[in-house]
Amino acid sequence: MNFCTSCGSKVALKIPEGDDRERFVCVNCETIHYVNPRVIVGCVPVYQDKVLLCKRAIEPRYGYWTLPAGFMENGETTPEGAARETWEEARARVSGLELYRVFDVPYISQVYMFYRCEIDDGAFGVGPESLESALYSEAEIPWDEIAFPAVKETLREYFQDVAEGRFPVRVSAIEYKRRNKE
């Protein structure tokens, strides 16, 4: 951040009075500009014993498979955002959303929230950010072509939870370079 969104003057990093960390503060109008983590909302869309995945038509991880997910927008709830992303990326309408998996990704200041849900009538398609979409059973999942570690972990946990008949909400953090370690 270089310039103030309010008045267009330069900003400088300094610790505001009563605060304990550096913020971007306008040198002219003194507005404090907070920069906060962003929320990514997504779904684990289920039909019968299968999960809907999308093959990414965009970078990063072009050509790899993922769960439908994207940045939460202003004015929506987290399940609304998750359902919207599922429509946009996989042209599926979903119901019965239940919070299922939270990932913190502190090194890029992101929080992922995945909702389990059912695909209405099992109908889906392909949105503009996807090359294709498909329903996969556990045995069919292309494990070596999953785009992100968080998605792979969520899928593994999901099929395990199906087997055990319980779906606890899990929270964990993804550390830097985790993908390379796998």
- Interacting residues toward a second copy by CB under 8 A: 1-11, 18, 21, 33-39, 71-80, 99, 102, 104, 106-107, 109, 111, 113, 128, 169, 171, 173
- Contact flag: residue 82 with Zn ion (CB under 5 A): no
Stretch that binds Zn ion, among 29-37, 62-70, 118-126, 159-167 (CB under 5 A): 29-37
In the block, which residue shows the tokens 């309010």? 6
Nearer to a second copy, 135 or 174 (CB): 174
In the block, which residue shows the tokens 């072509």? 145
Residue 95 half-sphere exposure, CB side, CA atoms within 13 Å?
Answer: 6
Q: What's the Cα-to-Cα distance from 104 to each of 39, 71, 110, 163, 182, rounded to whole Å?
A: 9, 14, 6, 26, 18
Stretch that binds Zn ion, among 23-31, 40-48, 111-119, 169-177 (CB under 5 A): 23-31
- The 10 Å Cβ neighbour count of residue 167 is 16
Q: Which does 72 bind (CB under 5 to 8 A by kind): Zn ion, a second copy, none?
A: a second copy
Q: Is 78 left (phi over 0), alpha (psi -120 to 50) or beta?
A: alpha
CA dist., res. 163 & res. 159, Å (int):
6
Q: Which of 1, 6, 140, 145 binds Zn ion (CB under 5 A)?
A: 6
CB of 159 to a second copy, least distance (A): 21
Nearer to a second copy, 6 or 137 (CB): 6
Q: Which of 13, 15, 29, 123 binds Zn ion (CB under 5 A)?
A: 29
Residue 102 near residue 77 (C-beta atoms within 8 A): no
| Paired tokens of 142 | 């292309």
Give contact residues for Zn ion (rule: CB under 5 A): 4, 6-7, 9, 26, 28-29, 31
